[in-house]
Amino acid sequence: MTIHNDRTRIGDQNLGVLFNEGKVRRRREWRGVKDTLYDYGRWLYIISILARFIVKPRNIKAMFRYRWMANYLAVPHMVDKFTMGLRDEPLRIVHTAMDFVVYDVAQTMENIFRGDRRTGNDEKFSARCVLTDENAMTAFMMGFPTLKAILREVPTMFVANLLNQYSTTHYLDVAQQAGIPGDVCPMPEAEAGISIEDDFAVLGACAVQVNTTCDGSLMGNGIIAKRLEREYGIPTFQLVAPMRHREADVQDYAAQDIKNAIAFIEEHTGAKWDWDAYFECAKRVNDITRNRLAWLEMNSTNYPQFVGAPFSLYNDTNYMGNCGRSPKFPPIDRKIMKYAQHGYEAKRMMAPEYRHRAIIWGVQPQYVIDMLNWMIHCWGIVPLTDMLSMVNTRQIAEVDTPENREQAYYDMAWLNENMIMRNRTHGGYKVLVDELWQFCEQMNADMVIMWEHMSCKALDGMHGQFEEQARERGIHLVWVCHDLCDPRVYTRQAIRDQLNTYMRTVMREEPLDPTIEFLPDEKAW
Amino acid sequence: MPKVVKIPLLLLGSLAALFVVTFTVYFLNLDMKLLSKIEPFFLKHYDKMPRKNYV
Ligand code: SF4
């Protein structure tokens, strides 16, 4: 059922006016006086983060040492992609979430270059750092308040590809020149390329890698661990998340592996596990879970507020990268909640009308993740939630008792098993297929946008089951094929065209804003 | 003009000028236009760096 917006959008009506064929936009958006000034204020804040970062000599050194650092020239451009077309509360929600993600990534990079042997080389600091796989919940660091978990791959690969669609192509070429086949998932392949070219910062007393229970991830981790251990003398622990993570009989094993990881960190850093710190973090993890569930509940109504890539990316950062360890996240959660509640009460909408309510499933194309925002403005399709945000919903033990200390290992294992991506791409058809239809029902969705990441074998293997079951349920299933972070295989427009074709031919609909149906952004950052 | 009037006026004037300059940079996307021109120089620099490739 179509929902109409009673408010007319102030300022630019046709968003195509912002685009030309260049690397960046023609100009910024006119959103009316109040919202333009708000956006300008947030731009100043982002510029101030960048300025504070780049004045430090070690960070300048890093800019000239690491190729991936050049992508960070595009930070304000990335924020503009996520705020396109937004006004009122949704604009404020996206800025609150994404500006904090920018701040958090800048902090991670500060820490990386402080300890990095080639730039800051602060040896004392480096001895307190544990390199933590980006595919890991940082749960096993919750009881080490004096140590820093350093997720090296996050700024090097994951965020870099949000900033610049071509950020990984050089590293993919390096990996393929070394003999790695081109059909491997480009995320671990690019990370392997970065390691092969020696373009990761080097720091830390030890490292913990986690399997994503997929072939690509195991391949990438193997190459990275070899260089870390043999060349840089950084011992690396392999934390193994079970494949069938919902089965009761794998939980003892998973909990034991968490104990082993903690013992390994204690051995190599000299730090001791601190239960007070752990339970303090556990309280924050539960708070994060409650807030995410509240936003999802709001998104089940006619007036969703916190949606799309910012919802997903903020959850990734808060749930996985932070995992209750930082007290800086709860105030941001509360601020977002306040805006979301106001927006919901005022029935704020992001587009002139909402025609479809969609669940976004599968692994997203990182280089056009802002497509979810484009979908709202171009076709009136609201992304209610995405696969990567459908993670743990349980409350974990948060009171320090002898029984809860034992339970804590199971909770950390559970969180690790329910890391974003892994908890759905692996674990069988129940978590990937069956639960999707439950979410469609709960959130009142009539459409599923199915990202078909062509190099993720786990997802591709279920293609037929999705087709058959969506047809039985009368749900519009739109397949959108991509290659995660390699835009040379599917360009951004080739990705959007799959949705455009479906909307025109199957749904027989016309776009809300025809000026953005085709965007000349093949050369854009 | 007495100093008590002149100083606040000067302050207000410079704040207004700062606003006009930064808002023009913001609205015309001049920051991104400039930085996108710098990127190729960095890429050339990275291409020239000696590398220690290792599998
Ligand atoms: S997208 Fe698929 S193949 Fe790639 S890392 Fe994730 S689970 Fe593995």
Q: What is the pLDDT of residue A300?
A: 98
Q: For residue A47, give every residue at least 6 positions away whose Cβ sits within 8 Å of its Cβ, in sequence order, or none.
A: A76, B31
Q: Do B27 and A27 touch (CB under 8 A)?
A: yes
Average pLDDT over every residue of A362-375: 95
Rounded Cα distance between A37 and A186, Å, is: 39
Chain A residue with CA closest to B23: the answer is A40
> From atom 8 of ligand 1, which residue's Cα is the shortest distance away?
A214
Q: What is the pLDDT of residue B53?
A: 86
For residue A456, the CA-to-ligand 1 centroid distance in Å is 5
Total count of domains within chain A: 1
Average pLDDT over every residue of A187-202: 97
Q: How far is B53 from chain A (nearest CA, A)?
A: 5
Give bridge partners of residue A381 from the DSSP assignment: A356
Average pLDDT over every residue of A145-162: 97
Q: What is the pLDDT of residue A307?
A: 98
Contact assessment for residue A204 and residue A129, using Cβ atoms and an 8 Å cutoff? yes
> From atom 6 of ligand 1, which residue's Cα is the shortest distance away?
A421
> From atom 5 of ligand 1, which residue's Cα is the shortest distance away?
A217
Ligand 1: does its nearest atom lie under 6 Å from the Cβ of A425? yes
Banded model confidence at residue A217, pLDDT cuts 50, 70, 90? confident
Mean pLDDT of all residues in chain A? 96
**Pairing label, strands A353-354, A3-4:** antiparallel
Q: What is the pLDDT of residue A274?
A: 98
Q: Which tens digit of pLDDT belongs to each residue from A53-77?
A: 999 999 999 999 999 999 999 999 9
B44 and A CB contact within 8 Å: no
Ligand 1: does its nearest atom lie under 6 Å from the Cβ of A241? no
Q: How far is B12 from chain A (nearest CA, A)?
A: 18
Inter-CA distances, A187 with A63, A134, A364, A370, A472, Å: 22, 11, 11, 18, 34
Is residue B2 over pLDDT 90? no
Is residue A330 over pLDDT 90? yes
Chain A residue with CA closest to B19: the answer is A40
Q: Which residue has the higher pLDDT, B50 or A461?
A: B50
Average pLDDT over every residue of A491-497: 97
Q: Which tens digit of pLDDT belongs to each residue from A501-521?
A: 999 999 999 999 999 999 999
In a domain, A470, yes or no: yes
In a domain, A33, yes or no: yes
Rounded Cα distance between A128 and A150, Å, is: 10
Range in A371-380, B1-10, B25-34 with the lowest mean pLDDT = B1-10
Q: Do B43 and A70 touch (CB under 8 A)?
A: yes
Banded model confidence at residue B31, pLDDT cuts 50, 70, 90? very high
Is residue A180 over pLDDT 80? yes
B51 and A CB contact within 8 Å: yes
E-strand spans in A211-287? 236-239
Give bridge partners of residue A447 from the DSSP assignment: A358, A476
Q: How far is A339 from chain B (nearest CA, A)?
A: 25
Average pLDDT over every residue of A293-315: 97
Contact assessment for residue A6 and residue A84, using Cβ atoms and an 8 Å cutoff? no
Ligand 1: does its nearest atom lie under 6 Å from the Cβ of A421? yes
Q: Which tens digit of pLDDT belongs to each residue from A421-476?
A: 889 988 888 999 999 999 999 999 999 999 999 988 777 788 899 999 999 999 99
Average pLDDT over every residue of A4-16: 95
Structural domain including A153 reads 3-516
Average pLDDT over every residue of A261-286: 98
Helix (H) or strand (E) segment spanning residue A289: helix A275-299
Inter-CA distances, A272 with A268, A415, A422, Å: 11, 21, 29
Average pLDDT over every residue of A260-273: 98
Is residue B1 over pLDDT 90? no
Question: Which of A12, A17, A18, A24 should we substitute to test contact with B (largest number of B Cβ atoms within 10 Å)?
Answer: A24
Chain A residue with CA closest to B30: the answer is A27
Q: Do A223 and B55 touch (CB under 8 A)?
A: yes
Is residue A150 over pLDDT 90? yes
Chain A residue with CA closest to B38: the answer is A73
